[in-house]
């Protein structure tokens, strides 16, 4: 009776639903403070003070037209500020005409994919991946092609990407710093990827677009460099979100930036602006466009996340788990001590630990721990990780 594809996809999302339900049950049984919920990437910290101040200013402002409909691309002055900010970072020439304000990265990804893909064209997704990518590609009638990252390090396996490229390849999605691994791709590996893409573009006479999904780009540790993707790739579309960098996930604000080096970039921008309207977003929230434009150089205090990372990483590895040390984002990617990662995460619930099986990210045998929560909860959880390790004889 209803849309069969969507109804069938409900079963796939049951893993996260089951986790929610298990969490609610544990919290009712043991009390909120005795359950260690690391399941969602929902930052527990408040937006930075300058962001809060800008918001108060605009809420109290009597500027006429602040809440009107506007161009589907967003406020001109906001797009000018974003373009200038990105131009400084990338060194690439950009104007407001390369910027579209959107309702977060989720909207931006859907818009960019739909603007680029003809039905049946392929999009390379590197595993493990943010699982929503598969739905976004399907929404645009595209076909995901999943390529594993390098075993153990989760860096880009350039040769594997190259082998997966066909005449139908339209795009590759990159997400660095990465959810769920915390890996940041090095300039060298991105340049190798560029060479591989260029070789294949030449061979097939095609253009392959790099969709750089960047919600975590300002959350990095130990001074690690996050190369600007526009400075590396010609056919680059950046999808940025303020959900994590400014702790504003509920406000739905981000932007899409298309490189000025893309051939016929004006048509691509026109398509994306139209899609912002026809997909039903119409325009990004007016108030928050103004707020973020004043705070482009502001970000949450990464020292908070770094402390959480250090406490958790040091403890988890000291009790015997294997884990990639994250260079960015706020996730730990831990190897399951048994092959069945779903069973492992179920066992973790015995100790009131809620962690997400790697299968949910296209990478069985691992589990993801989101550490964007209060440091006190993380400290209280350590004993549970010790007991979990003991259960597996580590």
Q: In this chain, which of 130, 136, 288, 373 binds ligand PLP, going by CB under 6 A?
A: 130
Q: In this chain, which of 37, 97, 213, 251 binds ligand PLP, going by CB under 6 A?
A: 213
DSSP 319: T
Residue 384, phi then psi, degrees to nearest 5? -65, -40
CB 118 to ligand PLP: min, Å = 24
Closer residue to ligand PLP (CB): 99 or 388: 99
Is residue 54 near ligand PLP by the rule CB under 6 A?
Answer: no
Is residue 254 near ligand PLP by the rule CB under 6 A?
Answer: yes
Closer residue to ligand PLP (CB): 132 or 391: 132
Planar angle of CA 300, 190, 93, nearest 5 degrees = 70
CB 86 to ligand PLP: min, Å = 17
Q: In this chain, which of 249, 270, 320, 364 binds ligand PLP, going by CB under 6 A?
A: 249
Is residue 330 near ligand PLP by the rule CB under 6 A?
Answer: no
- Residue pair 213/294 in contact (Cβ under 8 Å)? The answer is no
Q: In this chain, which of 54, 149, 176, 243 binds ligand PLP, going by CB under 6 A?
A: 243
Is residue 285 near ligand PLP by the rule CB under 6 A?
Answer: no
Is residue 105 near ligand PLP by the rule CB under 6 A?
Answer: yes
Is residue 289 near ligand PLP by the rule CB under 6 A?
Answer: no
Is residue 106 near ligand PLP by the rule CB under 6 A?
Answer: yes
CA distance 299 to 319: 33
Is residue 220 near ligand PLP by the rule CB under 6 A?
Answer: no
CB 110 to ligand PLP: min, Å = 10
Planar angle of CA 365, 369, 373, nearest 5 degrees = 175
Is residue 358 near ligand PLP by the rule CB under 6 A?
Answer: no
CA distance 345 to 370: 14
DSSP 363-385: -TTEEEEE--S-HHHHHHHHHHH
Question: Which among 102, 332, 333 is positioned nearest to 214, based on CA atoms?
Answer: 102
Closer residue to ligand PLP (CB): 36 or 330: 330
Judged by CB under 6 A, which stretch of 46-54, 102-110, 160-168, 339-347 contacts ligand PLP? 102-110
Closer residue to ligand PLP (CB): 102 or 193: 102
Is residue 179 near ligand PLP by the rule CB under 6 A?
Answer: yes
* 3-state secondary structure at position 32: helix
Judged by CB under 6 A, which stretch of 46-54, 83-91, 99-107, 309-317 contacts ligand PLP? 99-107
Closer residue to ligand PLP (CB): 174 or 312: 174
Closer residue to ligand PLP (CB): 110 or 336: 110
Is residue 41 near ligand PLP by the rule CB under 6 A?
Answer: yes
CA separation, residue 276 to residues 76, 119, 265 (Å): 16, 19, 16
- Residue pair 126/213 in contact (Cβ under 8 Å)? The answer is no
CB 178 to ligand PLP: min, Å = 7
User: What burial class does residue 66 get, using C-beta atoms within 10 Å of its C-beta: 0-12 exposed, 13-18 middle, 19+ buried?
Assistant: middle
Is residue 245 near ligand PLP by the rule CB under 6 A?
Answer: no
Is residue 104 near ligand PLP by the rule CB under 6 A?
Answer: yes
- Residue pair 283/276 in contact (Cβ under 8 Å)? The answer is yes
Instruction: Examine residue 180 and say whether the peptide bond preceding it is cis (omega within 30 degrees of 0).
Output: yes
H-only helix segments in the chain: 4-12, 14-30, 49-59, 76-90, 104-116, 132-139, 158-164, 187-204, 229-232, 242-245, 265-278, 286-293, 302-318, 341-349, 375-391
* 3-state secondary structure at position 104: helix
CB 145 to ligand PLP: min, Å = 18
DSSP 77-102: HHHHHHHHHHHHHH-S---GGGEEEE
Judged by CB under 6 A, which stretch of 98-106, 230-238, 372-380, 383-391 contacts ligand PLP? 98-106
Closer residue to ligand PLP (CB): 90 or 241: 241
Question: Which among 386, 353, 360, 317 is positioned nearest to 37, based on CA atoms?
Answer: 353
Closer residue to ligand PLP (CB): 9 or 34: 9
Site residues (vs ligand PLP, CB under 6 A):
41, 104-106, 130, 175, 179, 213, 215, 241, 243, 249, 254
């Amino acid at each position: 009776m209803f849309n069969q594809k969507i109804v069938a996809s409900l079963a796939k999302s049951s893993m996260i639903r089951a986790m929610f339900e298990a969490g609610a049950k544990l919290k009712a049984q043991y009390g909120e403070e005795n359950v260690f919920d690391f399941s969602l990437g929902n930052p527990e910290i408040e937006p930075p003070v300058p962001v809060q101040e800008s918001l108060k200013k605009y809420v109290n402002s009597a500027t006429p037209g602040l809440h009107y409909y506007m161009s589907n691309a967003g406020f001109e002055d906001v797009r000018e500020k974003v373009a200038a900010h990105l131009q400084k970072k990338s060194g690439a020439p950009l104007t407001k005409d390369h910027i579209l304000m959107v309702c977060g990265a989720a909207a931006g990804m859907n818009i960019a994919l739909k603007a680029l893909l003809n039905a049946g064209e392929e999009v390379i997704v590197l595993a493990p991946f943010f699982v929503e990518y598969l739905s976004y590609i399907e929404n645009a009638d595209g076909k995901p092609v999943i390529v594993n990252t390098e075993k153990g390090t989760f860096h880009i396996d350039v040769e594997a990407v190259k082998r997966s490229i066909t005449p139908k390849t339209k795009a590759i999605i990159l997400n660095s710093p990465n959810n769920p691994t915390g890996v940041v791709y090095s300039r060298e590996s991105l340049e190798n990827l560029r060479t591989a893409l260029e070789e294949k573009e030449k061979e097939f006479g095609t253009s392959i677009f790099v969709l750089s999904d960047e919600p975590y780009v300002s959350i990095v540790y130990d001074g690690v460099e996050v190369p600007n993707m526009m400075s590396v790739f010609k056919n680059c579309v950046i999808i940025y979100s303020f959900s994590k960098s400014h702790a504003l996930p509920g406000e739905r604000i981000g932007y899409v930036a298309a490189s000025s080096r893309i051939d016929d970039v004006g048509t691509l921008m026109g398509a994306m602006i139209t899609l912002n309207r026809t997909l039903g977003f119409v325009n990004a929230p007016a108030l928050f466009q103004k707020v973020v434009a004043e705070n482009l150089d502001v970000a949450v205090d990464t020292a908070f996340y770094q402390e959480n990372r250090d406490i958790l990483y040091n403890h988890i590895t000291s009790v015997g788990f294997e884990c990639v040390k994250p260079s960015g984002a706020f996730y730990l990617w831990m190897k399951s001590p048994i092959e069945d990662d779903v069973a492992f995460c179920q066992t973790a619930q015995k100790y009131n630990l809620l962690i997400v099986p790697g299968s949910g990210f296209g990478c069985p045998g691992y589990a993801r721990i989101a550490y964007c929560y209060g440091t006190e909860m993380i400290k209280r959880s350590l004993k549970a990780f010790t007991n979990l390790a003991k259960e597996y004889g580590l």
